[in-house]
């Protein structure tokens, strides 16, 4: 009986682990009006648990930054990540990795 219960517990854990997968996305954050704006936007994005920026590109002329990132979809959503810099006045949008990608 104990063996069966342990097997069932391991199966549930494996199923939950399979659902929690690292995801990749590319987001654009606009409204960069000064040299420190990309840093502030990056800090806002990385303040979300499980999010890591793997690459960034700052286009000074277009006043935007593009972040490649990874995140754990069991911990946060892409919508929460994109909203984070918006709290500082920097609107964001998903370029890749969303439901339509």
Please report where in the chains the tokens 């648990």 appear, as a residue: 49
pLDDT computed for residue 92 by the predictor: 96
| CB burial readout 16-35, b (16+ within 10 A) else e | eeeeeeebebbbbbbbbeee
Do the beta carbons of residue 93 and residue 52 sit within 8 Å?
Answer: no
What tokens does 101 get?
A: 């990608």
pLDDT computed for residue 20 by the predictor: 63
Entry pTM: 0.77
Summarised one tens digit per residue, pLDDT across range 36-47 is 999 999 999 999
Handedness of CA 12, 18, 22, 26 (dihedral sign): negative
In a structure prediction context, what are the per-residue pLDDT tens digits for the chain, which is 101 residues long? 555 444 554 454 554 555 567 999 999 999 999 999 999 999 999 999 999 999 999 999 999 999 999 999 999 999 999 999 999 999 999 999 976 55
How is residue 85 annotated by DSSP? G
Residues 6+ apart with CB under 8 A from 89: 31
Residues making up the chain, counted from first to last: 101
């Amino acid at each position: 009986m104990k063996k069966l219960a342990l097997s069932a517990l391991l199966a549930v854990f494996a199923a939950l682990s399979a659902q929690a997968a690292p995801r990749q996305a590319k987001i654009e954050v606009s409204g960069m009006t000064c040299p420190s704006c990309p840093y502030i936007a990056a800090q806002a994005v990385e303040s979300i648990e499980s999010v890591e920026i793997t690459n960034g590109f700052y286009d000074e002329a277009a006043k935007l930054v593009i972040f490649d990132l990874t995140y754990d979809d069991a911990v946060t959503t892409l919508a929460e990540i994109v909203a984070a810099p918006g709290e500082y006045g920097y609107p964001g949008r998903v370029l890749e990795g969303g439901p339509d990608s």
